[in-house]
Structure 1
Amino acid sequence: MAKKSRSKNAGTAEKLPLYDGREVGPREACPCGSGKRYKACHGAPGGADLFVPRPFAGLPGECDLVALRELVPSATVPVRIKGHEERTVLLTTLLPLAAPAMARDSGQVWAGLQVQHAYGDPSREVAAALLVALEATGPGIVGLPGNPGPGPRLQDLIVDETLEITVHEGFDWWVSDVDEPESFAEALEQANDAAMPTARLTGVEAAYWTNVGTKEHLRWVMPEPEEQLLSALARLHVAGKDVLVEDSRLVGMFRAHGLLAPVWDLPVGTGAEVLEEPAARFKADLDAALAALAAGEELSAEERSARAGLANRQVTIRA
């Protein structure tokens, strides 16, 4: 009986398609980040309809929004919301008490991106909290007590064609519209102490320098499809064109919300400013490699080996 049972289970444990040609097995962790197995979460009957593999696709600044949700400690983005254009609305990284959204005494509305609800569509979750805060009759924290279900997403609400990202040294903006900010001094000090110095490069999209104390990194969220991007990165690596500054090294990449974010280790003391020119040069080389591969050029044996190495150095934050 045991053999028969194992055989039956093996037949039902085939890989299940997820997206972009990648697959997930029923007993693997669900890519939504809930911590449950796929078969008990978005692989359950009806669950697959809930998971959105690339939730910020179609929004202006998709790559930056992924970075703000997963990589950047403190940043704000003013947005105009359809039907509420007169209101001051901020998308933010992290709010006090990790609140999903807040209606402020000043009349402003803030919505936090770094809230993990695990309902399968962060765009819908943030939009739901934002809409509740916009309709609030007074100031306060807005929660999301359960699955918001079908409804508007950020793509349906934001009317801006571009986003203006501001990266902050800490969280002093939490009290920018408060009459007595000293009453929040202790909480603010704790939050500021935990924020790693971070800066956004100005010459390329969604590239963020950060200092973690013992190291510095450049983490760069890129919009290209994963398979093409890996091949192009491998070609640049073999050509020695992935070294941004002396002693820097492309060490791997994160995968988050359907996008890859290559990560470079940098010598301590590098800073963000000196990365501008080499980052722009790398982007030009990357575009050329992508174009050549799209035109039908094949990877060499050495490039294929490098590609396999890069594929093995990936960490999924949010699939």
Structure 2
Amino acid sequence: MGKRAAVEFVLRPFEGLPGEPDWVAMREVVPAATGTARTTAEHGARDVVVATVLPMGWPALHRNDGTLMVALQQHAGSGDASRDLAALLLQAMELPAGTPITSAPLPEPGPRLQDVLDLDVAFEVTVHDGFEYWLSPEDEPDQDVRASLDQMNETIVPTRRLTSVDAAYVAQMGDRTYLRWAVTRDEQEFIDALARLHARRESGLGEAGAVGRFLGAFRSCGLLVPVWDLAADVDVEVLEQELGALSGRLEKALAVEAPLDATERRARAGLVSRQLTLR
């Protein structure tokens, strides 16, 4: 038997898809959300619901009402999340309505989401308060699915998507609230810009970080995701305003072409020491 062909590792698997940073955020930091997509005409021009998770940890589902659903939060993969999800989607299309895919074997090289999805269709995200989006109005879930739904609803982290910038999400985790913002700018350039602000104590939200204090950043799917620890009971309108102001400061800092000075280099070293890579 010949050796199985391996899928090449892709650092930034969702690059080129509409809403790339939202794909990354939904894969890593958002508990319950859906996004809109559609397959190309070659693949039937089918509407697709991209979900954070599905019941019982299913990778994909051809729902009873004919809706195609694929889950972003999956534990294992080939090294190219785009290829993995495309393989699941194509497989789900061939299944009868009401049939889940319960396991996801590693695919061989083949079409990726960028080949299967219509790239002119916007990726519009809806954040949900629970996981009822799993079900169609006609669904009568069995005992196991209902138990999975109830368990997930009991442990959901309240999350909200902000509108002042793309792909920024606020999550209430116990008595702490965090802002996580997936950015598509070049990582080194963004860190330089953030270091310029950090050196001037302007990397927080609000005056002296009164609304939010910069904590650090992690990498996922090739994108940087900075994180801020927010003040208790922060007002969303104030947060939107301050995040917009921070975005403006970052744009100005990104436009600076001069090398970092000594203070900014020290600030940058501190920022880099707080980074980690999830995938």
Q: Which amino acid aligns with 2:22?
A: D
Which of the numbers 265, 275, 279 marks the counterpart of 2:239?
275
Equivalent position of 2:21 in the other structure: 63
The separation in 2 between residues aligned to 1:49 and 1:86, in whole angstroms, is 26
Task: Quote the offset at 1:108 in angstroms.
Answer: 0.6
Match of 2:109 among 150, 159, 173: 150
Once the two structures are superposed, what CA deviation does each residue of 1:159-216 show, in whole Å capped at 9, x if it has no partner? Answer: 1432110011111212243443695543322111111000111121111001001210
Counterparts of 2:112 and 2:218 in 1: how far apart (Å)? Answer: 25
Q: Are 1:108 and 2:108 matched, yes or no? A: no
Say if 2:214 is the partner of 1:250. yes
Contact 1:200/1:208 (CA < 8 Å) preserved in 2?
A: yes
Corresponding residue for 1:166? 126
Other-structure match for 2:153: 192
Distance in 1 of aligned mates of 2:232 and 2:141: 35
Asked if 1:303 is matched to 2:267, the reply is no
- The reply to whether residue 72 of structure 1 matches residue 30 of structure 2 is yes
Aligned counterparts of 1:176 and 1:244: Cα–Cα separation in 2: 40
Name the SS of the counterpart of 2:111 in structure 1.
coil
Q: Within 5 Å, which residues of 2 pair with 1:7-26?
A: none
In terms of mean alpha carbon deviation, does 124-133 or 241-250 score higher?
A: 241-250
SS at match of 2:175: coil
1:221 to 182, 192, 198: 182
1:313 and 2:274 are equivalent in the alignment: yes
Residue 192 of structure 1 aligns to a residue in which SS? helix
Aligned mates of 2:44, 2:267 — CA distance in 1: 49
Structure 2 CA distance for partners of 1:142 and 1:180, relative to 1, 3 Å:
closer
Distance in 2 separating the partners of 1:208 and 1:238: 25
Aligned residue for 2:160, secondary structure, equals: strand
- Once the two structures are TM-superposed, the CA of residue 145 in structure 1 deviates from its matched residue by 4.5
Classify 1:48/1:230 alpha carbon distance in 2 versus 1 (closer, same or farther; 3 Å). Answer: farther
TM-aligned CA distance change 1:313 to 1:122, over 3 Å: same
**Could you tell me how far 1:217 is from its partner in structure 2?**
0.4
The 2-side partners of 1:297 and 1:48 are apart by 44
Would the aligned equivalents of 1:63 and 1:223 in 2 still touch at CA under 8 Å? yes
- What is the aligned residue count? 270
Matches of 2:5 and 2:184, distance apart in 1? 26
TM-score of the pair, normalised by structure 1: 0.79
What amino acid is the match of 1:283? S
CA contact (8 A) 1:101 1:112 kept: yes
Aligned with residue 97 of structure 1, among 51, 56, 65: 56
Residue of structure 1 equivalent to 2:195: 234
Q: Distance in 1 between matches of 2:89 and 2:111?
A: 11
Compared with structure 1, are the counterparts of its residues 47 and 307 closer, same or farther at alpha carbon in structure 2 (3 Å cutoff)? farther
Deviation at 1:270, TM superposition (A): 1.3
Contact 2:5 2:108 in 1 (8 A): no
Q: Which moved more, 1:180-189 or 1:239-248?
A: 180-189
Higher Cα Rg, which structure: 1
RMSD between aligned residues: 2.1
Q: Would the aligned equivalents of 2:53 and 2:73 in 1 still touch at CA under 8 Å?
A: yes
Deviation at 1:158, TM superposition (A): 1.6
Q: Any conservation in 1 of the 2:6–2:109 contact (CA below 8 Å)?
A: no
Question: Does the 8 Å contact 1:87/1:107 carry over to 2?
Answer: no
Whole-Å separation in 1 of the counterparts to 2:228 and 2:104 = 39
How much has 1:243 moved relative to structure 2? Answer: 1.9
Contact 2:199 2:267 in 1 (8 A): yes
1:33 aligns with: none
CA shift for structure 1 position 98: 1.2
Task: Give 1:110 deviation, angstroms.
Answer: 0.3
- Cα deviation code 1:23-71 (max 9, x no counterpart): xxxxxxxxxxxxxxxxxxxxxxx99971101111111111110000011
**1:234: Cα distance to partner?**
0.5
